[in-house]
Structures are given as structure tokens and as C-alpha cells.
């Protein structure tokens, strides 16, 4: 891939981000604060998902395997 095309694409994505969040109307110091808060919140969401989602999926699978798993045969 061409480096210029990648650079243009990344610039286009950043421009779209600014348009969606309306951060292009902020002053430079406000933009830096806004971007810092946004990146921090996004990092916390990713970290929380990385730590807690696998635990919840494992517990859900255990729960449903107990409910829908093989039923014990009755000894008559």
C-alpha cells in the first residue's frame, strides 16, 4: 500500500471524527482536553472488557451448561 494513501486515509478518519464529535469548533486547548478525556474513557472501556467479559462469558457458559447439559439418569 502506498504511504501517502495511508496517510490521507488516516487524515480522513481524523476529519470524520472531528465532524462527528463537533470538536473542530473547539479552541486548541479545549480540543486537547476533549481528546484526552475521550482516549482515557475508551482505554478504560477496552481494559474493562478485556478483564471482565471473559469471566462473565465463562460463568454464563457454566450456568447454561448446568441447565441444558446432560441430565443425570435416574437409578431405578
Dump the DSSP string for 16-51. HHHHHHTGGGS-HHHHHHHHHHHHHHHHHHHHHHHH
Tell me if 40 is assigned to some domain: yes
Tell me if 72 is assigned to some domain: no
Tell me if 76 is assigned to some domain: no
Per-residue confidence (pLDDT) for residue 9, from 0 to 100 = 96
Model pLDDT for residues 20-30, shown as the tens digit of each residue: 999 989 999 99
Tell me if 52 is assigned to some domain: yes
Per-residue confidence (pLDDT) for residue 76, from 0 to 100 = 55
H helix or E strand, kind and range, residue 55: helix 28-68
Quote the pTM value. 0.63
Instruction: Report d(CA 8, CA 2) in Å as an integer.
Output: 10
Q: How many domains does the chain have?
A: 1
Tell me if 71 is assigned to some domain: no
Instruction: Give the range of the structural domain holding residue 8, as residue numbers without chain letter.
Output: 3-66
Tell me if 73 is assigned to some domain: no
Mean pLDDT of all residues belonging to the chain: 90
Mean pLDDT per block of 10 residues along the chain (76 residues) reads: 90 94 92 95 96 92 84 61
Tell me if 34 is assigned to some domain: yes
Amino acid at each position: 500500500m502506498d504511504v501517502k494513501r495511508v496517510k490521507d486515509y488516516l487524515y480522513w478518519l481524523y476529519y470524520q471524527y472531528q465532524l462527528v464529535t463537533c470538536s473542530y469548533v473547539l479552541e486548541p486547548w479545549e480540543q486537547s482536553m476533549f481528546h484526552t478525556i475521550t482516549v482515557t474513557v475508551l482505554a478504560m472501556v477496552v481494559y474493562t472488557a478485556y478483564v471482565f467479559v471473559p469471566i462473565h462469558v465463562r460463568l454464563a457458559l457454566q450456568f447454561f451448561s448446568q441447565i441444558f447439559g446432560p441430565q443425570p439418569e435416574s437409578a431405578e
